[in-house]
Amino acid sequence: MKTKKGTIGFVALAFAGGALFTGWASAEDAPPAQEAPFGSVAALEDAGTEDAGGGGDAEAAPAAPPKQTLTISADKSPRPKDADWDVLGVEMSFSPGSTPNGCRLQHIREWVRVRCTGAMVHISMLGGNHEGVSIKLDPVGADEFIPFPQGGEVVFPVRTGDRRVFEWIGVEFGYKGMTSASSFLILSESWLPWDEGPTIYAR
């Protein structure tokens, strides 16, 4: 009786050991799991899981462009005289991202002058507050082959809440001389109530 029970136990143990060995061998021989195709939903889900657990630092948001700093009088000051700009005018930079096409930006107190040189046809204000705005083209020179002003400027006060847009129309040169007019410069000025200074952008 003992021999029969011992035989049965040995057979059961051997069967269990064989099943365990077979499972281990199957796991070793199984082909590696294939990655989800690039761009598939599964791949996107995997990428999202990895990013979530990666702990990488998020990119910092770009810094806001600096605003212009003007010395603003407590009361509205009178417009500077034409001769004052050459003596008292302080050179400024246009706001970041501008391409001023050689134009200059100056200010005296809250007053700003933008002056451009080159063959001009017209300067116009496209919209905004007209208070205190002055637009001027240079006189036409004596050269009969250059029948257009060779420069022009706009002068205006810059105060909180202002919004203005100007356009310079220049002259394009062709093989027969000055043949057509085109936009030379677009100037925008704004000072929103929550900003510390104005944005003066030229392009």
52-63 confidence digits (pLDDT tens): 444 445 566 556
pLDDT value at position 82? 92
Confidence of residue 199 (pLDDT cuts 50, 70, 90): very high
For the chain, the domains span 1-29, 84-202
83-125 confidence digits (pLDDT tens): 999 999 999 999 999 999 999 999 999 999 999 988 888 999 9
33-48 confidence digits (pLDDT tens): 555 443 343 443 454 4
From the list 129, 128, 147, the residue with the least C-alpha distance to 138 is 147
Residue with the larger pLDDT of the pair 67 and 191: 191
Strands 134-137, 120-128: parallel, antiparallel or unpaired by DSSP?
Answer: unpaired
The pair of structure tokens assigned to 51 is 């990013």
Confidence of residue 146 (pLDDT cuts 50, 70, 90): low
The conformation of residue 122, written as its DSSP 8-state character, comes to E
Confidence of residue 145 (pLDDT cuts 50, 70, 90): low
163-198 confidence digits (pLDDT tens): 999 999 888 766 555 567 778 899 999 998 888 889
Cα torsion angle, 176, 179, 182, 185, sign: positive
HSE-up of residue 17 (Cα within 13 Å, Cβ side): 6
Q: What is residue 152's three-state secondary structure? A: strand
Q: Which ranges of the chain would DSSP assign to H, the alpha helix?
A: 2-29, 41-54, 84-88
Of 20-34, 47-61, 143-157, where does mean pLDDT reach its minimum? 20-34
Note if the pTM is more than 0.85. no
When pLDDT is averaged across residues 119-140 and rounded to a whole number, the result is 90
Of 26-30, 58-62, 70-74, where does mean pLDDT reach its minimum? 26-30
When pLDDT is averaged across residues 71-89 and rounded to a whole number, the result is 87
